[in-house]
Structure 1
Amino acid sequence: MQSYKRRHRRIELVKIMIVITAVLLLVVLIDMKMRPSVETMTAYQARLYAIQTINDAVAKELDAEKVTYDSMVKLSTSADGMVTAVETDMLALNRLKVGITNSVAQELKKLETADLKVPMGTLFGGQMFTGRGPLMGFRILHVGYVQSEIINQFDSAGINQTRHQIMLRISININALIPGYSADTEVTTNMCIAETIIVGTVPDAFTKVTGDNGSTISKLNDYRADNALE
């Protein structure tokens, strides 16, 4: 009788172990399937929060410093009023860069203690689940340093017109933490802090090169002033 009870207990114990193993295996399989999607969406949500934080910090700093193009750039002109040189005030630009970098770093620290919430369905991806389900809290940790760079960018804005933009590039590494998951991502954003259009002399005529399959000579279209008057 006792041997029967022992054998019955062993059988029950084996059944329990099989059920526990099956449940654990199912949890592992589900986690393996969901983890890439959850980590990707978590990183995406973290980037949204980080970019919004950076934009707000930069806007506040620019407003506080009353930044204008003329306050950072001096245009030298000739006697006839044509622009001959563009001189940037590097001291003012570096001071602005340091102020913005510190402001961004301070705002990012607030995210580490902020009560950030996102619907669980959003993390799983798919239009059907986006914005649905219970809210899941997560934190954003700032990893490393805030890297910033001032870039002077010149683009054509028309015939003998050049657009000068002073761009600020900010790069950070962040880590998004939610229960059971962690996602690292890099955020890089470019912001224009000042710009102007430098106007030169408009020529009396110009030539346009088309992209057809003809010869080089046939690609040249001569838009001469005398033709425009005919």
Structure 2
Amino acid sequence: MVLIVGGIALKWSVRRRHRGRLILLGAAALLLLTLVFLDRQLLPLLSQYSKTQAQWRVTRMINEAVTAVLGDEKADYNTLVTVTRDGEGNVVSAEADTRRLNMLKAAVTTAVAERIGAEREMTVAIPVGTLLGSGYFAGRGPFVRIPVGVSGGVLTTVDSVFSAAGVNQTTHRIEMTITVDLFIAVPTAHTSVQVETPFVIAESVLLGKVPDAYTVVTGDDQTTTGQIFDYGAERLQK
């Protein structure tokens, strides 16, 4: 009887170990499927959602920063550009206030950088139905909120742009472009996106006879000689 009992105990022990292996294999398979799902479905979706929301938020920050700075500085065409005319009213020169433009550019860059720095982390909310990858359930169900880290660098450029506006009329615009390179860190992955937003910060129509070519120096602290724009010079050289 002891042997029989021992035999029964032995059989039970073998079955228990076999069942334990099946449970481990099932758990490993489930973990593998979960990782494949995360890699193929969740991470690409999370990266795209993060890019979209980051672009929207940064664009809003840029708009707020530029609006605030221009309002404080009270910048307009007459304060940024000096137009000189001769006795007959013809345009002789258009000279930008390099110092004021550089100060304006620095103020905008600082304002944008401070706003981005204040929001180091944002939360991306994705509906559960969208995570499942089904078109029928997309956008449905409760939201899954995932923290995302954000950091970025800001580059601001100022350009002088001329365009024909009619007979003896030329439109002169001072344009500012803010470019933000964003680094977005999502769980187990990272991505990047560039947000570029142009603004017309000053504009005027130069009336009267305009010379075939003249030079506008806008300057730039990042270069030695500044930026020189020769309006019409290319046409004269042909």
TM-score normalised by the chain length of structure 1: 0.76
Which of 115, 135, 143 lines up with 1:134 in the alignment?
A: 143
Q: Residue 149 of structure 2 contacts residue 186 of structure 2 at CA under 8 Å; is this kept in 1?
A: no
- Could you tell me which residue of structure 1 aligns to residue 194 of structure 2? 186
Q: Residue 174 of structure 2 contacts residue 203 of structure 2 at CA under 8 Å; is this kept in 1?
A: yes
1 CA distance for matches of 2:21 and 2:126? 40
Deviations along 1:211-230, one digit per CA (max 9) or x if unpaired, are xxxxxxxxxxxxxxxxxxxx
Deviations along 1:58-99, one digit per CA (max 9) or x if unpaired, are 110110111111111011112111222110000000011111
Q: Say whether residues 1:170 and 2:178 are aligned partners.
A: yes
Query: Secondary structure in 2 aligned to 1:63?
Result: helix
- Could you tell me which residue of structure 1 aligns to residue 37 of structure 2? 30
1 CA distance for matches of 2:139 and 2:169? 46
Answer 1 or 2: higher relative contact order, Cα 8 Å, separation at least 6: 2
- The residue type paired with residue 46 of structure 2 is V
Query: Secondary structure in 2 aligned to 1:19?
Result: helix
Which of 14, 22, 25 lines up with 1:18 in the alignment?
A: 25
2 CA distance for matches of 1:9 and 1:17? 12
Which of 41, 44, 47 lines up with 1:39 in the alignment?
A: 47
Query: Secondary structure in 2 aligned to 1:151?
Result: strand
Aligned Cα root-mean-square deviation (Å): 2.7
Equivalent residues in 2 for 1:83-98, closer than 5 Å: 83-98=91-106
Deviation at 1:196, TM superposition (A): 1.3
- Could you tell me which residue of structure 2 aligns to residue 101 of structure 1? 109
Question: Runs of 5+ in structure 1 lacking a partner?
Answer: 203-230
- Could you tell me which residue of structure 2 aligns to residue 9 of structure 1? 16
Change (3 A) 1:140 1:104: farther
2 CA distance for matches of 1:164 and 1:127? 52
- Could you tell me which residue of structure 2 aligns to residue 50 of structure 1? 58
- Could you tell me which residue of structure 2 aligns to residue 146 of structure 1? 154
- The residue type paired with residue 23 of structure 2 is I
- Could you tell me which residue of structure 1 aligns to residue 218 of structure 2? none
Change (3 A) 1:177 1:64: same
1 CA distance for matches of 2:164 and 2:136? 41
Q: Residue 97 of structure 1 contacts residue 148 of structure 1 at CA under 8 Å; is this kept in 2?
A: yes
Count of aligned pairs between the two proteins: 200
